[in-house]
Structure 1
Amino acid sequence: MPHSDSPTRITVISASMGAGHDGAARELTRHLTAAGFLVDRHDFLDLLPARIGKLLSGAYLRLLTWAPAGYQRIYAATEHERRPNPAVRALLRGAERRTLATVTPDTRAVVSTYPGASQVLGALRLRGRLAIPALTYLTDFSVHSLWVAPGIDAHLAAHAIPAAQAHEQGAAGVTVTGPMTDPRFTPADEDERRAARTRFGLPQDTSLALLVAGSWGVGPVREAAAEILDTGVALPVVVCGRNHALAERLRADGIAHVHGWVDDMPGLMHACDALVQNAGGLTSLEALAGGLPVVSYRCIPGHGQTNAAALDEAGLAPWIREPDQLAPTLTELLHGPRGRAQREAGLALFTAAPGPVPAVTAMARGPLSAVRPGRQGSSTAVPAGTPDLPAAPIPSQRRPADALTGETVDALTAVTADAPRLPVSARFAAGSRRARRRTVLMVAAVAATLSLGIGAPLAYAYGESPGHHFGALTHYLEDDDR
């Protein structure tokens, strides 16, 4: 633990793209503070140049809502690309000065819970401008390539599956640390369950399926709610986050139990019997910590579907791909041995490894003199529970993806158109509109790339094939420009 007369400072950088990245940063901050560290927490969107962060967030949300099928294809096509689009790299470089300003002289480590921030920190490390360790805490169960940033000293994963994915893409210092959630997410006994149902106005003697869609309430939520209701297996209890319009539509559809933003999610989980989710983020981990069986259904594109696949592979949550499988799967989870097995597997995830805090503190307390130029990947993946990590050198190049050793595999798997010519004034106006349209398009593309905890790298795809990938998006943006 740091000396009381000279506390060690750690910087945590997240991003308010939905609530998952911020939730992980909040818990990391709380645990590090409890361990005696001083913690500075920053939103990466505020560090981007020209106050573009909020614009990116809004543009990404619109893209996810308007073109989900194309979004998924683009995500899959770029999932393993090694470098961001040049336009994205230029934008990220514009955040370097403000990012460095968050690191005070007494800071001993920087932790990112967001891929854009990790890319910036890694670049600063590679060029020697950041002289302290930089770590990435992977908040997803699947790892898109932008999560893996050259220059990052350690990549911390909740489970062996995301750890292996990160390692395959050349990540340095991959460590299976286990997940971390608010300690209020715990299994409920019968008395707590009944009290929670009374508090939320829910029926006492009916199976309840908690349907969540992130803080933005995105995806085919209405379809999922209606299909859960039609099974007769459970009543849907829907959380719409900040999507007030969705909540009103669900009530109009006849869904009786609809909530907006819920401050007491641990209590609501205590009241319910299973979680149905579509993104595979922090809420899924919270449910697992609370002893709820989790199922993935009607998942959003990009990381929603890759997370669902990873959770299914890990045996933590089945991914229902067809509606006719919803009723039998819910029945098994609520009333059969499959549900009991998944509850046990979910709870074991939190006892098999100590969480990311020991790995972060080991880096922060390491001697700065050990930080020197060297090769990325000088430290291999470390088994969960390892008390100390080596002080990592400043990396100079990415480790080959095939450097995964047999010992590392064991460690990772042990934890489970031409127009007529117009007058000059008209051509100028049209040109201005086209310029604005292109700007919005590029901003939207960058938004998607930087939103990888929730989305997909459209900017990269735009650079490769704008006509193919952006047809639907351009249609919507041009409609808005009229």
Structure 2
Amino acid sequence: MNVLILAVSAGGGHIKAAEAIKNYILLNEKNSKVEILDTLKYINPILDKLVIGGYIKAIKKSPSLYGKLYNYNYYQMDNTLASVSNKINELMANRLLPLIKDFAPDIIVSTHPFPNEMLSILNGNSQLKIPTLSIITDYACHSFWLYSGIDAYIASNEEMICEMVSMGIKANTIFNYGIPVLPKFLEPCSKEMIFSELNLDTGKPTVLVMGGSLGIGKISDVYSELCSIEHPLQIIIITGSNKKLFKELSELSENSKKVTRIIGYTDKVNNYMQCCDLLITKPGGITITEALACGTPMALFSPIPGQEERNANFLVKNYLAINLEDFHSYKEGFESLFNSKEKFSIIKNNCSKFYNENCGNDIYNLMKKIIANAMTL
């Protein structure tokens, strides 16, 4: 099987989803040829820096403005911003054709809205006669993901199917398999070994704090209020690529009464998620999916207005997490969870059952079916 996966490195989650599905293809069919393309970077590195740099700057400096743009464009696929995006993607789409021709994929998979639109444009111009599949990496949809030229969509939950159908997508092209995560998130690890490496107590309640690959959000505030509660616990904080935050938290932890371990970029997130009793995180689509795959309860903070707010709403509504932003203070949110064994138990139980452990294999089997159907046409 030859598979071309189109992703965009905006925040890291879309690339992670691409890597996950690549893993499952190779696990099922080791001789497959699978290539992940950072699409904007391939087409035009300068444009990639402008677009991705602008996105990151917007969510860091003006999250409320970003949220307004997201909500304004939610259902309006024909508005000005969508039209501008369409024109840009139309110009870029043709740059993919030589690569597609050389690689000769049996199917093209997309994990980001930009490649979705490019593939739809190429399909609409009859320049592309290769089946396409899109993996939506959040828990609520947006019109920017949805295009008539995409043959099939992977949704993360049943509610999304109704939402997508209301936006014009045919129900028989939507598959509720979930978002794929790397296989290691489903493989058990040794808590004793992991905690021994960190010099932590295996018998003590442990909280993991994350701010995504960029290490953004009110992590210092979260840590300060965690330290202020009387509930006995130990803390692990992953700061990702944010070196300034790493330094700040390292200094804060020196005077903390809570045993704390500050970790920068790491490839052991799966181990820490599995070994901790609670994950405190921004509700990025991939991070919360990894937590659900590990069965780890969540408390959410600093959602990016727009998609992350809607992710948080989905989790809270389905008793998979609490949203710390719903309380007067983070401390109040923590205490409401730690002081209610019943509430914590319900969330933990729901998290342990939610994720489809066959997600990766289900998507692989669907790809095989789509390719087979295309060959009969």
Q: Same fold (TM over 0.5)?
A: yes
Name the CA shift for 1:313/1:161 in 2 (closer, same or farther; >3 Å). Answer: farther
2:152 matched residue in structure 1: 154
1:214 matched residue in structure 2: 212
Name the CA shift for 1:85/1:291 in 2 (closer, same or farther; >3 Å). Answer: closer
Q: CA deviation at 1:187?
A: 7.6
Matched, 1:16 2:20: no
The answer as to whether partners of 1:119 and 1:150 remain within 8 angstroms in 2 is no
Question: How do 1:171-320 residues align onto structure 2 when only pairs under 5 Å count?
Answer: 171-172=169-170, 173-186=173-186, 192-233=190-231, 234-254=233-253, 256-320=260-324
1:71 matched residue in structure 2: 66
Identity over aligned pairs, percent: 21
Name the CA shift for 1:79/1:231 in 2 (closer, same or farther; >3 Å). Answer: farther
Question: How do 1:51-200 residues align onto structure 2 when only pairs under 5 Å count?
Answer: 51-83=46-78, 84-104=81-101, 106-172=104-170, 173-186=173-186, 192-200=190-198
Matched, 1:366 2:359: no
Name the TM-score, length of structure 1 as normaliser. Answer: 0.69
2:341 matched residue in structure 1: 336
Name the CA shift for 1:336/1:69 in 2 (closer, same or farther; >3 Å). Answer: same
2:21 matched residue in structure 1: 28
Matched, 1:347 2:326: no
Name the TM-score, length of structure 2 as normaliser. Answer: 0.87
* 1: CA distance, partners of 2:164 / 2:250: 42
Q: Unaligned 5+ residue runs, structure 1? A: 1-7, 371-482
Name the CA shift for 1:249/1:48 in 2 (closer, same or farther; >3 Å). Answer: same
The answer as to whether partners of 1:132 and 1:368 remain within 8 angstroms in 2 is no
Letter matched to residue 246 of structure 1: L
Name the CA shift for 1:79/1:230 in 2 (closer, same or farther; >3 Å). Answer: farther
Q: CA deviation at 1:50?
A: 6.0
Letter matched to residue 63 of structure 1: A
* 2: CA distance, partners of 1:21 / 1:318: 25
* 1: CA distance, partners of 2:33 / 2:100: 12
The answer as to whether partners of 2:7 and 2:18 remain within 8 angstroms in 1 is yes
Report the count of equivalent residues: 359
* 2:204 partner SS: coil
Name the CA shift for 1:291/1:124 in 2 (closer, same or farther; >3 Å). Answer: same
Q: Unaligned 5+ residue runs, structure 2? A: none
* 2: CA distance, partners of 1:353 / 1:156: 13
* 2: CA distance, partners of 1:207 / 1:62: 36
Name the CA shift for 1:360/1:342 in 2 (closer, same or farther; >3 Å). Answer: farther
Name the CA shift for 1:33/1:101 in 2 (closer, same or farther; >3 Å). Answer: farther
* 2: CA distance, partners of 1:300 / 1:90: 27
Structure number with bigger Rg = 1
Listed one character per residue, the Cα deviations across residues 89-109 of structure 1 (whole Å, up to 9, x for unaligned) are: 222122212322332464221
Question: How do 1:456-471 residues align onto structure 2 when only pairs under 5 Å count?
Answer: none
